[in-house]
A = this chain, B = another copy of it.
Amino acid sequence: VTLTDRFAALGIDNAPGQQATGAAAESPATVSIPSGPAVDFSHGDVEAFTPTPGALDAFLAAFHAGATQAYSEYRGHAAVREPLAERISEFVGMPVNPAEQIIITPGTQAALFLALSSLIGTGDKVAVVEPDYFANRKIVKYLEAELLPVGLTYLDTDRPAELDLDQLRDALVAGARVVVFSNPNNPTGVVYGEGQVRRIAELANEFDAYVVADQLYSRLIYPGTAYTHLVAGGIRPERCVTVLGPSKTESLSGFRTGVAVAPADVIKRMEKLLAIVSLRTAGYNQSVLNVWLNEPEGWLAQRIADHQAIRDDLVGVFAAADGFRVRPTEGGSYVFPHVPELTVPMPEFIRVLREHAHVIVTPGTEFGPHHGAGIRLNFSQDRARAVDAAHRIIATAKEFSR
């Protein structure tokens, strides 16, 4: 595999925030595309949902403290890690040693990269859920590992979503050393039931595999859904990496901090790699974690309720639209409707949405090669504008319907 091949596998043109900025192309003359105020569903709107109270003050306190805050150990300030480990421990339901089992990373993306790079060598086999967060597949390919896909059924809304446990077992039998998945699932909003989580843990234990669980959205769980942390599902702690962070739910993405909880030997490797990748998470930014998992009474419940209202609106709008299929989000702020068959290729539909309807969505192909019928919307947005934009998506699809 040449370096050119490795980078060819890392396409970013369709990734969130990377939409082409060239001149708008002409819309097909025979269709009429509704326009309206721009909505960028590729990420959350930090104005519609503002950052956690106290986040900026925490940053400022670090800046003004000066020398002790500008630099830290590569794994992060001990003074931040210590109370944080205690709060995470309570949240996920297992003891977390602040000195050895936690690392602060420049975003959860970095936590994923460092964890997977610490566990996966050239030619290793890795079980990757599809659809799932797009970077998982890219990282595995960049590491020149072999990707063994594990399906997730989610479109049948009458039944719980299901990870294909037979495919997971097959991947482990075939020699997968690492399993990576997000819960809640990105892009579908599926939350795995306790039975599924326990079964994943059992299989990992049986085959002595590592599991990297991206639990970035595990605080944003809607009423009626129970959440089971992987570490609480029976997995051996020495084989489990949990990725967490205050980003979308808390609207703190602009600070780029994340956290991984992992066995001491894995944290050591992650820290060594962070040292050459970026040294450390920005010193002042780390302190923003002090307000995380530490919000005012009622804050999280309100944030969940506000997101739930938008979810209900959007799911209702797409469910009622001709030919659209959508599963109600159980956790997180994504909805992943499938679009009816169109007379134009999906990339063209998405381009017209962006340039003429002023709605940016992320194509399903980012999340798995067989998920091109879906489009991902991050609904952490202004409610009325989001609903309005959803109607424009539907009207645009209608213009291109067969």
Contacts and interface: CB of A to CB of B under 8 A. Distances in A.
Given A113-B278, A277-B109, A278-B278, A17 B67 contact: no
Given A66-B47, A121-B2, A254-B63, A10 B277 contact: no
A264 interface: no
A255 B276 contact: no
A292 interface: no
A342 interface: no
Contact of A278 (B71, B72, B142, B256): B256
Interface size on A, as a range, is 35 or more
A284 interface: yes
A238 interface: no
Interface in A63-92: 63, 66-67, 69-74, 78
Contacts of A119: 3
A72 B110 CA distance: 16
Number of copies: 2
Given A63-B56, A277-B109, A278-B277, A253 B10 contact: no
Interface in A47-70: 47, 50, 56, 60, 62-63, 66-67, 69-70
Interface string A147-191: 000000000000000000000000000000000000000000000
B254 A70 contact: yes
